[in-house]
Structures are given as C-alpha cells and as structure tokens.
Amino acid sequence: MSWNHRVVKKTFSDQTEDEEWYEIHEVYYDKRGKIEGMTVNAVAPGGRTIEELRSELKMMLKCLEKPILDDKD
C-alpha cells in the first residue's frame, strides 16, 4: 500500500449558505493506485528534526499540484 498527502475539500452547510474548507490529509492507495482510505482528521507537519519537518512540508506542498479531493466522494 502506498500513500501521499492530498488536499481535501470539505463543505459545511447551514440554513443560508455553504462554506468550503480545505485541509491536507494522508490518502492511502491499493496496489492498482485506487484510493483505499484516508485519515479522518487533517494532518499537521512534524518531525524529530528540523530537516524531517522541512521534508514533511515539502511533501505537503506537492499535494497542491494534484487534483483536490472532495470529502463527499
């Protein structure tokens, strides 16, 4: 199984309007590259060292170049 970071759009509705919110999640894929699941909550960057944190942030920035996923799907 492989994974990467992806931007996920969430839509919140009230009686008058919809509001969109974007977060970064870890998304997991099966052997054929089909989405198999994702984290329930958004993920925050972190690392044991500044270099690990920098690497994590770079991986997260790459997800901005991929299509946005909708949490309704």
For 20-70, write each residue's pLDDT tens digit: 999 999 999 999 999 999 999 999 999 999 999 999 999 999 999 999 999
pLDDT higher at 13 or 54: 54
pTM of the model: 0.85
Neighbours of 3 (CB within 10 A): 14
What is the distance between the terminal CA atoms of the chain, rounded to a whole angstrom?
20
3-state secondary structure the chain: CEEEEEEEEEEEECCCCEEEEEEEEEEEECCCCCEEEECCCCCCCCCCCHHHHHHHHHHHHHHHHCCCEECCC
